[in-house]
Each structure stands twice: as C-alpha cells, then as structure tokens.
Amino acid sequence: MDGILISTHTGQAARPFLGEIARLRIAVFREFPYLYDGSLGYEMNYLEGYVSSDHSLIVLANCGADIVGVSTGIPLAVADEVFRKPVESAGLDPGDIYYFGESVLLPDFRGQGLGHRFFDEREKHAAKLGFRSTGFFSVIRADNHPLQPPQYRSNNVFWQKRGYYPQDAIIARFPWKQLQEPQETLHELVFWLKTLS
C-alpha cells in the first residue's frame, strides 16, 4: 500500500468527495459481476443517503490527489428499504446490524491489502457505535454466466476468511440497468453476515 493514503469520513464530511465517488462506482461496477450501466445523477442521489446519516462511514483510498478506492457503511435501520426489508422478514433486527454498502477499487490497486483495510475500518466503526453484527449484499450470478471473463475470481473466499457467511434465505431484489440491456431489470443479491466479537 505504498503511496496510498487512507482516510475516513462520516456524514456531511464526505460531501466534497461525492462526485469522485460516484464516478468511481460507475467505473468499477461496470465490471462483472455487476455489469452496471450507471448514471451520475442516480449515483449522486444514492450517495446522498450516506452523507445524510451521522453514523455513516466512507473510507477513501487516495493515490496522490486521485481517489482510487472507496468503501461505505451505514446503520441498516436507515439503509434503503430494499435491503432492510429482507433482513427484517428473516427475523433479524436491523437495529443490531451495521450495513456495508460497497467497496470499489480500481484494478491497478487490487491485491495490496486495501480490501482488508476497508473491512477493518468499517468493522471498527460499527463496533464503536455498539453494533452487534455487520453485513452486506452481493449479487448472485450463475457460474456459467455468458459475460463472466475468464480471469474472474469471486470474493467469496475472501469474505469467508473475514468471518462472513451467506444467509441463503435472505435475498434482496434490486433493479439496475445492466450493460447490453435496454432498461432496468431486477437482480437478486444474497446477504452475508458476521457477528462482531
């Protein structure tokens, strides 16, 4: 991680970075498995939820003046209903869970330990706020998906090493416009959960 500066920001303190974060999300989520054909307007509106919460966390990775990675978190109780409701329906209390929105990192900066750092910072923040668990959703893709690149490697093993396990009965259905599709379609995501020690 030589030359990479990590900084953390909560609530409104992250507002000056929203434009860069939005553009980074669009660029990275175009890749498999999300294949997201995003728009800046949608992204800015989505990120507004994070700066509106005093208990949110945005972790930035900078290389010089450039933001090359970002990781986000927010109490699940104030996260988007599409993610909160499946957890509630499974009998879990969203008030006990700190929700990890996403971690995105430009390809040239992967494999240097930044993924672990992103989890460390968010888990530390969640524990400081008194949350019992942390969790996130990941998109479900078939193993033989036609747009999966040959070199693709899922993050499942990494997540399990961090103590997260998929809760197969907790599925969110979230719409986005996928590359090569004319309009938004629903995509299924599975919830991963970890109990903090």
Quote the number of domains for the chain: 1
Which residues are bridge partners to 176 per DSSP?
185
Dump pLDDT digits (tens) for 135-159.
999 999 998 999 999 989 999 999 9
Instruction: Write the CA distances from 46 to 40, 90, 152, integer angstroms.
Output: 10, 25, 27
pLDDT of 29 reads: 95
pTM (two decimals) = 0.94
Is the pLDDT confidence value at 37 over 80? yes
Dump pLDDT digits (tens) for 55-70.
999 999 999 999 999 9
Residues of the domain holding 61: 4-195
pLDDT of 1 reads: 63
Is the pLDDT confidence value at 2 over 90? no
173-176 own/partner pairs: CB under 8 Å, 24+ apart: 173/82, 174/82, 174/83, 174/137, 176/34, 176/36, 176/37, 176/38
- What CATH number does the domain containing 16 carry? 3.40.630.30
